[in-house]
Amino acid sequence: MSVNERKSQSDLKLIGTSRRKIEGLDKSTGRAVYTDDIVLPGMLHGKILRSPHPHARILSIDTSEAAALPGVHGVITGRDMPRVYGIIPWTPDEYPLCVDRVRYVGDGVAAVAAIDEDTAIRALALIRVEYEELPAFLDPHAALAADGSSPYVHDAKKDGWNGNITKRVHLEFGEVDGLMDASDVLVEDNYFFEGTTHTPIEPHCAIGLWQAGGGFQDADGATTGKLTVWSSTQVPHYLHRELSQVLGVDQAHVRVLQPLVGGAFGGKSEPFDLEFCVAKLSMVTGRPVKILYTREEVFYAHRGRHPFHMHYRTGATTDGKLTSVDAKILLDGGAYASFGLVTAYYSGQLLCAPYAMPAYRFDSTRVYTNKPACGPKRGHGSVQPRFAFEVQMDRLAEKLDLDPIEFRRRNFIGSDTRTINELRITSNGFLECLDAVERASGWRDRFRKLPFGRGLGIAGSTYISGTNYPIYPNEMPQSAVQMQIDRSGRVAVFSGASEIGQGCDSLVASIAAEELGVPLDYVRVMRGDTDFTPVDLGAYSSRVTFMLGNAAIDAATKLRKMVQEAVAAKWEVNPTEVLLAGGMAMWSSDTERQMPIKDAFNIAESMFGALGSMGSYNTPKDVHGEYRGATIGASPAYSFTAHVAEVEVDVESGMVEVKKIWVAHDCGRALNPILVEGQMEGSAYMGFGEALMEEQVYKDADHGRAGLLNAPSLLDYRIPTSLDTPELEALIVESIDPEGPYGAKEAGEGPLHPSIPAIANAIYDAIGVRMTRLPFSAPSVWKKIAEARTADTLRKPLVPAGDGTLTDNPARTAPAGAR
């Protein structure tokens, strides 16, 4: 559907106004139903036995004692589900439960179903597993250097290969070395981004229900049954496929239901052991089985942000233009591939905007290590390089004696263009984002001029509005919506999208209300049931608003046209003159001529028969280059963000207090501004937490036992409390994207990226210390301060004059006053 078939944007009534989420009251009153709230008759409780070793062979498993324990109904091991899977079709390397090898402390080995959790826990203790311990790879550099003298984390696919390497990506665009050599200034350094995890408040939970018989038959005509799985997943469609493949049940006989999800952030975007286990245990026991992860198990499931070891070389000319960017990245992937192939590409591919780069090269290698698998976390693969690169930008600006915002403006890539790696950029509000944070933060009067210890930092970024291609190659739509109209005036929307708190149910409801003119409370959304709702690929890569929104507009517009035509026929006017708004159908030439929307619907039903429609969306296919890997990072549209962070550094303790973050984000159009602001603030908060305190780290041989997760709890894995959280000011920028629904782009992940480098750059402005390793915890900042003291560099940096001369800083207090 082309844009001009859509409702005129100036006519928008509901879209663009702030509205509560339709499920908001249920969530805030406790009425909302999450997976763990569901109790089925006869339901059993499952528990998973986990490996105490980071790397070991399973020699034998004896489940007989556990199976004999009264109250235990079923025990399964990896041998019961020996089919390998993986979210990325090219890198399957996981089993629901380990078959012959465990690869991290916490890897699943066996599972039991019992009358209650306590019995299941007792049964786990009765399972005897004989292991042969193997040397573990915990350091990615060691994993990369491995020579096969001890078993790789995964067996090499070919003799002589290093089985520890998941993926290596080397891409080069333009004359990298030549332009680097010709640069007037160069900045080069190492950066390290520590791994972090998602910490959704709702732990993963799943219920399996196998209903044998019932006329369900397999391909050979043998009677089988039907499998239903409720899960707190953010990808019901992919779970649906994987359950079918791994368990050997016809996909048509598998039903996945997604109740409300209590946070996901990328941590629930692939199948996990519990979903296969509840399904298999239900097949074994004939009863429904529930598994709820403990918080510790959520940490083991992980799939969080990869630790990145990064090296960047960046050049520029004296007139402040980037010349060449050269990156080398080692990704510490943990025990399984997960989305790692994509992560390796994203680590380089998503850096090529919002600044024009004449030449760019990246060399990214993802290795396996014997730790919980890393995967996608909000801002998948691009948050880490963005940190390094935006600090590089700050350093270049300083070397060039340019204001860092001005430096970024000079390198703005523009709209309706291609990046150096051939990604198509359309709408681009990055300059407006820079303007907004510059103005709101009082940048011009305050950057480099605040007292010693206090500073401002800027950073910018871009992110995808959905991946242009699905995870498994196919030509079908990425998202679809079905709508039907009831004689009461009510509109029912069937949506396969994943509501993980971002507001996609509210989105489709408001689109139905907008297009069909019904009050918002006349719209019902049925979502997340693969038996009844059309396919949407899932809540990942910031794709939902963009793709589901377009699908919903498609479905609603088809219905609107039928209603307009029917009413127009009755009034004997042109269908385009029939307006549907405010619960009424009206004639645009004389709005006194009107009828209740219910009557309009009834007239339309009389004319066309029962009123229903399907809408769908698929991405344009000409938005990327032709080289191998060109499609990874391609998106129908890109969002842009700029942050200014203000910090105060206590140079005695190294404690950094972030006072405020100004967040300007180009979301195309804010369909519901309060939800956009919520995403912007939530993203900035999450980045801020990673900047200052979060780290998923492990014990080493000198500290207890190598490979043990340091702190698998929310007490010792620290995320910021409300008291720690800075003031966040969301500044919405609207560039009205030509492809997005009503011009909208994403807002859920992009606004995270600049938080971290903006804080790093603000620390530099405050005390002249460059933070290149995350997190900026007090001990690490304190150590850098001590180094700066020794080197006599602990001071406010000079004010850029912009004309090549450095001016002395009026606020440049010698830190002697500070102890």
Partner 1 sequence: MIPVEAEPDVLRLPPFRYHRPGTVAEAVALMGEHAGNAMFVAGGTDLIPNMKHRLFEPGHLVALKGIGELRGIREDAGHLRIGASETLTSVATHLDVLRSFPALADAASHVAGPQLRNAGTIGGNLCLDTRCTYYNQTEFWREALGYCLKKDGTVCHVTKVGKKCVAAHSADTPPVLMTLDAVATLVGPEGVREVPVRDFFVTDGILNTLRGPGEIVTEVRIPLVSAQKKQAYAKLRQRKSIDFPLLTVAIAADIEGDGTVRSIEGVVTALGSRPRVLSGWGDTAEGHKLDDGIINELAQRAHKQCHPLENITVDPEWRRAMVPVYVRRALEKLGAA
Place of tokens 């369900």: 216
Contacts of 703 (CB under 8 A, 6+ apart): none
Q: Closest by alpha carbon to 512, among 527, 498, 502?
A: 527
Least CB distance from residue 162 to partner 1, whole Å? 28
3-state secondary structure of 813: coil
- What's the rounded Cα separation, in Å, for the pair 346 and 383? 10
Q: How far is CA 730 from CA 185, 597, 667, 739, 756, in A?
A: 35, 37, 12, 24, 16
Least CB distance from residue 749 to partner 1, whole Å? 25
- What's the rounded Cα separation, in Å, for the pair 393 and 415? 21
Omega before 354 within 30 of 0, i.e. cis: yes
Least CB distance from residue 459 to partner 1, whole Å? 24
Least CB distance from residue 786 to partner 1, whole Å? 9
| Angle value at C-alpha 774, between 771 and 778, nearest 5 degrees | 75
Least CB distance from residue 19 to partner 1, whole Å? 32
Smaller CB distance to partner 1: residue 594 or 696?
Answer: 696
Smaller CB distance to partner 1: residue 122 or 449?
Answer: 122
Least CB distance from residue 304 to partner 1, whole Å? 18
3-state secondary structure of 462: strand
- What's the rounded Cα separation, in Å, for the pair 285 and 46? 11
Least CB distance from residue 708 to partner 1, whole Å? 6
Smaller CB distance to partner 1: residue 260 or 566?
Answer: 260
Smaller CB distance to partner 1: residue 62 or 117?
Answer: 117
Contacts of 269 (CB under 8 A, 6+ apart): 87, 233, 234, 235, 303, 339, 375, 376, 538, 539, 540
What are the backbone angles phi and psi of residue 568, rounded to the nearest 5°?
-60, -40
Smaller CB distance to partner 1: residue 569 or 697?
Answer: 697
Least CB distance from residue 309 to partner 1, whole Å? 21
Smaller CB distance to partner 1: residue 207 or 413?
Answer: 207
| Residues comprising the chain, all counted | 819
Helices first, then strands: H and E counts in the chain = 19, 30
Least CB distance from residue 785 to partner 1, whole Å? 11
Smaller CB distance to partner 1: residue 651 or 675?
Answer: 651
Least CB distance from residue 652 to partner 1, whole Å? 5
Smaller CB distance to partner 1: residue 289 or 393?
Answer: 289
Residues that bind partner 1 in the complex, under the rule CB under 8 A: 36, 39, 45, 50, 52-53, 105, 116-118, 121, 203, 205, 290, 292, 294-296, 652-654, 693, 703-705, 708-713, 715-716, 718, 720-724, 777-779, 782-783
Smaller CB distance to partner 1: residue 292 or 301?
Answer: 292
Task: Quickly list H helices, 478-543.
Answer: 504-516
Tokens read off for 355: 């600044």
Q: Residue 301 carries which side chain, given as an amino acid letter? A: A
- What's the rounded Cα separation, in Å, for the pair 596 and 584? 4
Residue 46 and residue 290 in contact, taking contact as beta carbons nearer than 8 Å:
yes
Smaller CB distance to partner 1: residue 467 or 777?
Answer: 777
Residue 603 and residue 570 in contact, taking contact as beta carbons nearer than 8 Å:
yes
Contacts of 588 (CB under 8 A, 6+ apart): 577, 578, 579
Least CB distance from residue 710 to partner 1, whole Å? 6
Q: Residue 280 carries which side chain, given as an amino acid letter? A: K
Smaller CB distance to partner 1: residue 375 or 712?
Answer: 712
